[in-house]
Amino acid sequence: MSDDAAPASIVPKSAALKTSRFKVPGEGASGAISVITVTSLFVLWFAITNLGLIKPLFLPSPQAVFQQFHEYLTGTANDKPLWQHLLASVLRVSVAFWLAFLTAVPVGIAMGMSRVVRGIFDPPIEFYRPLPPLAYLPLIIIWFGIDETPKVLLIYLACFAPLALAARSGMKSAAQEQINAAYSMGANYRQVIVHVILPSAMPEILVGMRIAIGFGWTTLVAAEMVAANVGLGQMVLNASNFLRTDIVVMGIVVIGIIAYLFDLLMRWVERKLVPWKGRM
């Protein structure tokens, strides 16, 4: 029997071993490692601060941070209660994020469908996207004043670019065979976009939403530099002026936890809307 006639089932042992050994790590194993990592970092933080290896001015102890959290939570701190700061920040980020979603996704879809639209929007988006928010914050203050508008606008701009680029990239996810099959079954242009292209683009759009909400919370502190008297970013900035590192760390932890909860929510939405992602 010639080599060309060899059965297709015969596979070299080395290739079979490599194939059998490759496994994608599961969610459970990754979660356990994350818990161990967080616990180890907390124990290290507790040990370093309580042994006096670092001065409280530079890194406060977990007890001091928790004490500030308790005082802000119960309203006994020499400041507004934590819920007021939290509510103001969540409202600013949420309003800016959903405004960006409602405008950036249609723009990104249009960029993916039309060369003209892509030529119009691509240069300004690519120009301002890598700029740090603090770079154009003075212009926003000059143009829009110091009320809520510049705060929301700054977060809006941070969320707009990743949403638009994700939607544009997602429009290329639909296979040409799927589009041709839809046309052959009598679908019109609008039906192809709604029932074929948009479902294929949905995973990319959801990833863009996760990235955008992260950028929104990252920009929060810069946004609340604009004459804010309430908000998590304002609380952190005000505490830093008085070298209250315990309040600064507490505010950072709260911002991080809230942003992580938003990310978990987006992951849950992703599992519900695109359950086939990663299983193809």
CB atoms within 10 A of CB 115: 9
51 and 95 part of one domain: no
Residues 47 and 111 in one domain: no
Query: Which of 138, 176, 168, 170 lies closest to 154, judged by CA?
Result: 138
**Which residue, 43, 102, 78, 121, is CA-closest to 247?**
78
**What average pLDDT score do residues 79-98 get?**
91
Is residue 50 a part of any domain in this protein? yes
Residue-wise DSSP of 80-99: S-HHHHHHHHHHHHHHHHHH
Residue 173 has pLDDT above 90, yes or no: no
Distance CA 245, CA 250 (A): 8
CATH number of the structural domain spanning residue 188? 1.10.3720.10
Domain count, the chain: 2
pTM, two decimals, is 0.78
Residue 104, domain extent: 64-273
- For 37-41, 160-164, 173-177, which range has the lowest pLDDT when averaged over its residues? 173-177
Note whether 55 and 87 are same-domain residues: no
69 inside domain: yes
Reduce the DSSP state of residue 26 to 3 states and report it: coil
Task: Looking at the structure, tell me whether residues 34 and 140 fall in a common domain.
Answer: no
In a domain, 279, yes or no: no
Co-location of 223 and 132 in the same domain: yes
**Domain shared by 101 and 160, yes or no:** yes
> Is residue 42 assigned to a domain?
yes
Measured CA to CA, the distance from residue 280 to residue 48 in angstroms comes to 47
State whether 38 and 137 are in the same domain.
Answer: no
Residue where one domain finishes, among candidates 41, 59, 77: 59
Beta-carbon contacts of 114 under 8 Å, excluding residues fewer than 6 positions away, are: none
**Tokens standing for 136?**
């154009």
Q: Are 195 and 182 in contact (CB under 8 A)?
A: yes
Q: What percent of the chain lies above the pLDDT cut of 70?
A: 87
Range with lowest mean pLDDT among 24-38, 61-75, 138-152, 217-231 = 24-38
d(CA 239, CA 233): 10
Same domain, 137 and 186: yes
In terms of domains, do 159 and 54 share one? no
> Is residue 20 in a domain?
no
Mean confidence (pLDDT) of the chain: 83
Residues 42 and 129 in one domain: no
From 41-50, 109-118, 266-275, the region with the lowest mean pLDDT = 266-275
**Cα separations in angstroms, 255 against 85, 90, 96, 130, 273:** 11, 10, 17, 23, 27
Residue 2 has pLDDT above 70, yes or no: no
Top pLDDT among 78 and 93 is at 93
Question: Do residues 54 and 158 both lie within one domain?
Answer: no
- On whether both 47 and 184 belong to a single domain, the answer is no
d(Cα 109, Cα 198) in Å, to the nearest integer? 9
Distance CA 175, CA 168 (A): 15
**% of the chain surpassing 90 pLDDT:** 30
